[in-house]
Amino acid sequence: MARVGTHLAVGVMNRRNAVMGWAVWKVAKRVGRKKAREVTPSVEGGKPNKSLIAVVVAAVAGAFAFLRGRRSPSG
């Protein structure tokens, strides 16, 4: 890369690749969010779905075990 004043000169190929990467990232995030929403268990008939409850309990238990493990001294 050549220096032009205080800025680095960006080649046409680099700029094009950066724009393409940005566009692909935007589309991938949108598709990922859509798929995640489709998979996530929802509330049905006023009470939470059993798999949602299981996921929440597992997350809380994992967080508790992680924090407790970090506090205890290594033997």
DSSP H or E segment with residue 44: strand 43-44
32 lies in the same domain as 1: yes
Parallel/antiparallel/unpaired status of strands 3-4 and 7-8: antiparallel
Domain identity same for 34 and 52: no
- Verdict on whether the full-model pTM lies above 0.75: no
- pLDDT tens figures, 11-67: 767 888 899 999 999 999 999 999 988 887 666 667 777 888 899 999 999 999 998
User: Could you give the CA distance from residue 46 to residue 53 in angstroms, rounded to a whole number?
Assistant: 14
Interatomic CA distance for residues 60 and 6, integer angstroms? 51
Domain limits for position 25: 1-40
The reply to whether 31 and 1 lie within a common domain is yes
Please determine, for residue 10, whether its predicted confidence score (pLDDT) is greater than 80. Answer: no
Query: Structural domain tally of the chain?
Result: 2
Of 5 and 58, the one with more pLDDT? 58
- Are residue 1 and residue 36 in the same domain, yes or no? yes
pLDDT of 51 reads 81
> Using 50, 70 and 90 to split pLDDT, how confident is the model at 70?
confident
55 shares a domain with 32 = no
What is the CB neighbour count within 10 angstroms for residue 35?
A: 10
> 50 and 34 in one domain?
no
